[in-house]
Structure 1
């Protein structure tokens, strides 16, 4: 076995063994890293992709804070059963503004990448307060305090500014009006509502998500859940093919 003999001899010479390990590791690293130099040419973008509004971003932060990502993935695979159950498979461009991404690999609960618009705001509020009220077999914990806690909007401008530095195309105008826009998104008849749609698009969900007199954490979470899968319409324009 000449090959095994060569390996045994290599193990006896530590310097050669180290060099061999470095070469092997370099080849693997090169295969993974080299494609990143052409990522701008290989990753497709969607023309209608938009950023999260301040209220939706606040809801996403609460979603992460409460650990919801541990049970719900946000990435529909190209497998046929995934597509038939959840909808069009996820595109990389849909996560381009996510920091961090929430693709996930564990599904104690269903994938929610296409959850937006599937249920009413009232359903989501009831589901957060006590999941068993709408899904009797659910093992999801209840989050009643979300509807009882006023949303802290004091850091939204800083949140948007940080994401801007990471490449998310938030404008200085969006950052300056973050707190006002978060409140106005739940008040579609207010004077500030027009500014929200001007900055984030006419498709922005403008309504009192919980109907409560103050903007709560539940408003933010529901606003976030209702936009999942709706940031771009490109996935719905192409018939997905499952494997």
Structure 2
């Protein structure tokens, strides 16, 4: 019976068009209808801060090097994931991510809560020679990042591009983008205070690669890794997970038995 109905529809052009429109409409409704309730489903996070210019540059390097192909940034609500990685990811955490980097494969561990879990020097050592800190790692080395100077003259343009897609960077943030990148990686510089003023006292100021005399791509990537999971305290307040919100200034040595990088 179904076969006869299908043949009849195929022989009737108008009926076939109507059937296509009906099928497409159902799919469209399923995709579009949830958007009308987005204000009710996305959590409120008044303390959500923006990426600093240095962190945004690190995020661009993270994408350039294809890190998202092996690492996800989304802790699911499954018990084993929460116990391993920390509080499950909230939609609001990705509010200012363009593009989003949730990922779909875990050759290496999820990085949604990696910020503050290890020291800056651990990240530098891991990126320089992964097997020196994680013997079983199959991650490639990124040692050249410590030799590559970070381009800063175009950071204002990157912030402006983000602003055009809805990230609320101010004119002042855009104007001081280059100096803020320098100040975040050199806490003793005259520009460091401006970073805290524009992005909040929770912003980590550090010579991320261990060298203050030169701003490198290693600085930027480590700065980005260290802010993952620290943009807002919402996941720690709206979950039963026992972890506390990570201290942005905590540079304690990592637990060798803990979940390591890829």
TM-score, normalised via structure 2 length? 0.88
Contact 2:121 2:210 in 1 (8 A): no
Equivalent position of 1:91 in the other structure: 90
Please name the residue that 1:51 is paired with: 50
| Range moving further from structure 2, 209-218 or 140-149 | 209-218
Give the CA RMSD over aligned residues.
1.3
Deviation at 1:81, TM superposition (A): 1.1
Tell me by how many angstroms 1:41 deviates: 4.2
Q: Paired residues, what number?
A: 240
Structure 2: how far apart are the matches of 1:112 and 1:42?
A: 24
- 2:78 maps to what in 1? 79
Partner of 1:218: 218
CA distance in 2, matches of 1:235, 1:103: 16
Residue 132 of structure 1 aligns to a residue whose secondary structure is helix
Aligned equivalent of 1:238: 238
- Structure 1 runs (4+) greater than 6 angstroms displaced: none
Q: Which residue of 2 aligns with 1:119?
A: 118
Offset, 1:4: 4.2
User: 1:5-154 residue pairs with structure 2 within 5 A?
Assistant: 5-154=4-153
User: Mean alpha-carbon deviation: is it higher for 107-116 or for 22-31?
Assistant: 22-31
Checking the alignment, whether the CA contact within 8 Å between 2:129 and 2:142 is kept in structure 1 is yes
Provide structure 2 residue ranges, at least 5 long, that are not aligned to the other structure: 242-262
**Aligned ranges 1:128-207 → 2 under 5 Å:** 128-207=127-206
CA offsets 1:116-147 (integer angstroms, 9 cap, x no match): 00011111000011100000000000001000
| Structure 1 alignment gaps of length 5 or more | none
How far apart, in 2, do the equivalents of 1:110 and 1:181 lie?
A: 31
Q: How far does residue 7 in structure 1 lie from its aligned partner after superposition?
A: 2.9
Distance in 1 of aligned mates of 2:221 and 2:33? 39
Q: CA–CA distance in 2 between the matches of 1:9 and 1:192?
A: 74
